Amino acid sequence: MPIITLLTDFGLEDEYVGVMKGVILSIAPQARLVDLTHLIPPQDICRGALVLVSAAPYFPPDTVHLAVVDPGVGTARRPVAIRTPIGTFVGPDNGLFSWALTEVEEWQAVELRETAYRLPQVSMTFHGRDIFAPAAAHLATGVPLEALGPSVFDLVSLPLPYLEIRENTVEGEILYADRFGNLVTSIGRLRWTGDLLTLIPAFRPHAGPAAMFPAGLVRVTVGKTEVRPIRRTYGEAARGELVALVGSSGFLEIAVREGNAAERLGLLPGTPVQITW
């Protein structure tokens, strides 16, 4: 029973996600469909890339990850499928998969050009239904990647999130606010070793540990607000207290215990974040 995950910015109000699932199940009726999310902010390729790089390693390696955040639909941007050790990715070649690819040592990509693995009529505005969903379904049924089209070696890459490491200082930026209002930053990945935190820069192939610092002694500055120290859990802070901690994906987050840091601070993605010790 092959697994196909779905990630889109389609929302839940319209029929788009359901129609994609219908196409998939018409081709691969035994497939198990897993919704990663359909609430990526419209056209936010970076947010989609972050979700994919965080989620894909937790699925079996033969999973097909169908992702559609596609502001360039109908243009010259290529539809692609990419096979990697952590799964096969299907979607637009607009950088959506580039951060996930930094996590693997090798990959193989093709352009989805073979018409036998598309719907007979291809809309200029709904490639998720007409190109990507059929391709994902056929791959899940065992069709070889090479059958879907010619090889691609020059995939589009997104710029990496800002991360600067200097002596006794790490600088990053706010990437987004999650549904709890926690501000997720680009400072990561962080790992606990006793009371120390080790920083291994994310999305940088072959990077080793780049910094180590005492979590209890650091000063975290986000915008013009200072937070200290870095906690292990929300429970270490008082209700309503602003807290810095390491999120489940290893990135520094700014939160309010039982509150909403995004609303309290009013900070936007791109706001500088700094750790000093």
Same domain, 83 and 178: no
Mean pLDDT over residues 121-145, rounded?
98
CA pseudo-torsion sign 258, 56, 89, 96: positive
Number of domains the chain contains? 2
Mean pLDDT over residues 39-56, rounded?
97
207 pLDDT higher than 80: no
Least confident segment among 50-54, 56-60, 104-108, 203-207: 203-207
Whether 57 maps to a domain, the answer reads: yes
Q: What angle do CA 47, 151, 69 make, to 5 degrees?
A: 20
Same domain, 196 and 72: no
Same domain, 148 and 25: yes
Determine phi and psi for 2, rounding to 5 degrees: -65, 150
Same domain, 194 and 142: no
113 pLDDT higher than 90: yes
Least confident segment among 10-19, 122-131, 164-173, 198-207: 198-207
Cis peptide before 57 (omega within 30 of 0): no
pLDDT of residue 249: 93
Residue 268 CA to residue 272 CA, distance in Å, equals: 10
Whether 159 maps to a domain, the answer reads: no
Same domain, 141 and 216: no
Domain boundary, last residue among 152, 172, 202: 152
> Model confidence at 205, in pLDDT bands (50, 70, 90)?
confident
Mean pLDDT over residues 40-54, rounded?
97
- Mean pLDDT for all residues in the chain: 96
| CATH number assigned to the domain comprising residue 202 | 2.40.30.90
Same domain, 225 and 145: no
| CATH number assigned to the domain comprising residue 20 | 3.40.50.10790
Determine phi and psi for 131, rounding to 5 degrees: -120, -55
204 pLDDT higher than 90: no
Whether 11 maps to a domain, the answer reads: yes
For the stretch 141-183, pLDDT in tens is 999 999 999 999 999 999 999 999 999 999 999 999 999 999 9
Cis peptide before 77 (omega within 30 of 0): no
Whether 141 maps to a domain, the answer reads: yes
Nearest CA-CA partner of 83 in 63, 51, 109, 48: 109
Same domain, 76 and 114: yes
**Domain residues for 79?**
3-152
Mean pLDDT over residues 244-259, rounded?
96
206 pLDDT higher than 90: no
Same domain, 141 and 194: no
Mean pLDDT over residues 218-231, rounded?
95
For the stretch 88-111, pLDDT in tens is 999 999 999 999 999 999 999 999
pLDDT of residue 209: 82
pLDDT of residue 54: 95
Whether 75 maps to a domain, the answer reads: yes
Same domain, 172 and 117: no
pLDDT of residue 208: 77
> Model confidence at 210, in pLDDT bands (50, 70, 90)?
confident
Neighbours of 152 (CB within 10 A): 17
Domain boundary, last residue among 105, 130, 152: 152
Domain boundary, last residue among 152, 172, 192: 152
Whether 158 maps to a domain, the answer reads: no
The contacts of residue 225 (CB under 8 Å, 6+ apart) are: 242, 265
pLDDT of residue 172: 97
Whether 265 maps to a domain, the answer reads: yes
